[in-house]
Each structure stands twice: as structure tokens, then as C-alpha cells.
Amino acid sequence: MRGEIGAAGVSADLAEVLEIAEIVEVLSDGAFDIRSHRGDGAPDPTGVVKGWAVDRAGDILSTGGVERFSLSAGGDVLVRGGRAAGVSWRIGVAHPDYGDAVALTLEADDLAVATSGTTQRGRHIVDGRTGAAADELLTLTVAGPSLARADGYATAAFAMGQPGVRWVGSLPGYAAAGITPYGRLITTRGLQQYQA
């Protein structure tokens, strides 16, 4: 971990969050950069910390013997074990233009799903390579095994625009769907296994 991020004396939890952020930054060639959101260059790991917290909550439930659960945090979802024996969880991805509509429905027993976009907070995602606010997509959703990584990958891919959908598709175990300003849904081949 680089010195400017990995300061000595941080908690193990914070060190883990910063490490995930660093991995996403490297894999995205800098499109994801936890220093790009603040003028002072201090790290702001909000692009991965929500997903990390939900992953940790899921670990606590699993360790406590809970086999089936669905956790949702601000639109990001972690499901484990199916709703019942032989019955998968159904995860609706909200349509960015129509608040009550679903753009995509996914089905899985064990899956993490994170969405980044402009719907809730406007143009707040910055491409770490250019410093410009991303606007080529309305939303980008990532599905995979870890919500912390899916969260970071969704932010990085959204910053990349349409090429970000393909980038997620190249990451082992992860799939993506993006929605353009014209309402076009772009998905990776790997997402088909989850589409209801």
C-alpha cells in the first residue's frame, strides 16, 4: 500500500477498506481514486466503505449461523442462501428515470449487487484520471461475490462511461449493466446467468 494512503497506526478495518480502494484504483488504471473527490487530496473511501460494511454484517450473520439473509444499504444488496430451499432471491435494479420502475431483475442465492449513478446525488462521481464529473451513463450496476468490490467497481466503471461496462466484464466473477441517457441497457455476457 502506498505511503500516502497506508499511514501507520490505522485500525485493521480502515487498513482493509483502504486496501480494497487501492486494488480498485490499480485495476481501473486510476478511474477510481479515493483522493479525487476532495480538494485537499485526503482519502475519501466512500466508494467502497458501504459495501465493505455490508460484507462485514453478512460475515457476522453467517458466523452466527444465519444461512439465509438479504441485506440492503442505500440500494446496494447482499443476499445469501436463497429465500428458501430452492428459491432464489430476486433483486430489482431501479430504473434511473422512473422512480417506481425496475430496469433489471436479477435472481441468485448468493450475490452482491451495487449501483452507482446520478439518480440520487446528481453528478458526484469523478473520473480520477481526468478530474471530470462522469456523465456518459445514468447508472451502472455490478454483480459479484463481494459487495465492497462491487461497490468500488461500480464507481470506477461509472467514471469510465460505457467502456466501464466491458471493463467489469473482464474482472473474474463480476458482471455489469449500464443504462445510457437514452435509456439503452448495456450488459455483460456474465450478467445473463442472473437475469430473471
DSSP string of 54-80? Answer: HHHHHHHHHHTT---EEEEETTEEEEE
pLDDT value of position 127: 74
Tens-digit pLDDT profile for residues 15-70: 999 999 999 999 999 888 887 655 566 777 878 999 999 999 999 999 999 999 99
Burial readout 29-67 (b: 16 or more C-beta within 10 A, e: otherwise)? eebbbbebbeeeeebebebbbbbbbbbeebeebeeeeee
Instruction: Please indicate, yes or no, if residue 73 is contained in any of the structural domains.
Output: yes
pTM: 0.89
Confidence check: pLDDT of 122 > 80: no
Domains identified in the chain, total number: 1
Q: Are 79 and 69 in contact (CB under 8 A)?
A: yes
Instruction: Please indicate, yes or no, if residue 100 is contained in any of the structural domains.
Output: yes
Burial of 70 (0-12, 13-18, 19+ CB in 10 A): middle
pLDDT value of position 33: 87
3-state helix, strand, coil in the chain (%, to 5): 30, 25, 45
Confidence check: pLDDT of 4 > 50: no
CATH of residue 82's domain is 3.10.520.10
Instruction: Please indicate, yes or no, if residue 2 is contained in any of the structural domains.
Output: no
Instruction: Please indicate, yes or no, if residue 3 is contained in any of the structural domains.
Output: no
Instruction: Please indicate, yes or no, if residue 123 is contained in any of the structural domains.
Output: yes
Instruction: Please indicate, yes or no, if residue 188 is contained in any of the structural domains.
Output: yes
Q: Who wins on pLDDT, 37 or 165?
A: 165
Tens-digit pLDDT profile for residues 132-150: 788 889 999 999 999 999 9
Instruction: Please indicate, yes or no, if residue 7 is contained in any of the structural domains.
Output: no
Q: Are 138 and 107 in contact (CB under 8 A)?
A: no
Instruction: Please indicate, yes or no, if residue 5 is contained in any of the structural domains.
Output: no
Tens-digit pLDDT profile for residues 73-116: 988 999 999 999 999 999 999 888 887 889 999 999 999 999 99
pLDDT value of position 86: 92
pLDDT value of position 120: 60
pLDDT value of position 100: 82
pLDDT value of position 24: 93
pLDDT value of position 126: 79
pLDDT value of position 169: 96
Q: Are 138 and 179 in contact (CB under 8 A)?
A: yes
For 99, the domain range is 12-193
Q: Are 76 and 51 in contact (CB under 8 A)?
A: yes
pLDDT value of position 131: 77
pLDDT, average across residues 117-123: 63
Beta bridge partners of 114: 142
